[in-house]
Amino acid sequence: MIYPEYELKPQFYEEFPLQWKKIFGNNNPLHVELGFGNGEFAAYYTQKHKNINYIGFELSITSIVKAQRKLKRNNATNAKLILCDARFGLREFFDTNSIEKVIMNFPVPWYKNSQAHRRIIIQDFFETLADVLIENGEFELLTDQEWYAKEAFENAKNSGCFEVFDIEKNPKREFLTRYEKKWIKFNRDIFKLVVKKIKDVKVNRLIGGVNEMPHASGKINEEKIKLLKGRVFKENNKVFVIKNIYKELDSNSHIFKVISSDGDFSQHYFLVLYQKDNENWVIKLDSESNPYRTPAVKWSVKKIMGVLQ
């Protein structure tokens, strides 16, 4: 059984950053967990800290369902779960100086140098933290990889925006997840890093303001439609590829399957192209598609119309 009251879908909201006071119905401090796994920590944390609003990020639907069940068993009323890349969500969904604490328990370390860009703790992440955390707000990291804790330590220090405390080895904790218990049983060391914000940084956001529905219209050359399949378009930090094109049988409409990227944030969605009148066509997001309206998504709509004209 699922409990949808715990899942928040920001892509359906009209304005960013999100208005958390309206979402929770109060102005309690915001605490954010990046990667909540099966929800063990979330269930514990929201029960112990009932005077805070908890927001958790994950990329797994299975994790969302498991966490919902644990929260429901506790009748939690101060938690929201989001299925989204945590780096994107932290930057886009929260206003400047709005979060009291960010928690990250045992993230995937991405060992290989070729995977380094996938690590959350890169320099850009600490710039985002320096934006969204309140003054003296904290970031807490737990990991079983000492090198990972040290890399996070150095990146936080180099940002110049944080008081960075010494890495603590095998810290005493009131609550242990089953994975922690397993690691400790096998004498695996745990490392804890805490940093406190002391300086503001303003980062650029992709989707600030009103979340408008992108569309474009005009005359087109229908013969060009089939030529777009597989085309890749690039402009600065924006990229999109048209993976496939489908023709509706009962109308003169076409569906484009698109993948776009804004830097390291990718989205899959559909665009619909249909004939408005004898001369003009319209292209817009399909009603079943709800990507975040990033620059790449908006550009894909306008660019396709431009190429077809």
Q: Integer distance in angstroms from the first to the last C-alpha of the chain?
A: 50
Confidence bin at 2 (pLDDT 50/70/90) = confident
pLDDT at site 85: 95
Mean pLDDT of 192-213: 92
Tell me the average pLDDT of the chain: 94
Q: What is the DSSP string of 255-272?
A: EEEEEEEETTEEEEEEEE
CA 103, 290, 12, 67: dihedral to nearest 10 degrees? -40
- Per residue in 27-63, pLDDT (tens digit) is 999 999 999 999 999 999 999 999 999 999 999 999 9
Q: Compute the C-alpha angle 241/86/178, nearest 5°.
A: 125
- Per residue in 268-293, pLDDT (tens digit) is 999 999 999 988 999 999 978 889 99
pLDDT at site 1: 80
pLDDT at site 142: 95
Candidates 214, 243, 218; CA nearest to 229 is 243
Residues of the chain with pLDDT > 70, as a percent, come to: 97
- Tell whether residue 179 is among the known ligand binding residues: yes
- Tell whether residue 173 is among the known ligand binding residues: no
- Tell whether residue 85 is among the known ligand binding residues: yes
What is the pTM for the complete model shown? 0.92
**Buried-exposed string 191-207: b where 16+ CB fall within 10 A, e elsewhere:** bbbbbbbeeebeeebbb
Number of H helices and E strands in the chain, helices first, is: 8, 16
Evaluate if residue 241 carries a pLDDT over 70. yes
Confidence bin at 117 (pLDDT 50/70/90) = low
Evaluate if residue 180 carries a pLDDT over 90. no
- Tell whether residue 189 is among the known ligand binding residues: no
Evaluate if residue 114 carries a pLDDT over 80. no
- Tell whether residue 144 is among the known ligand binding residues: yes
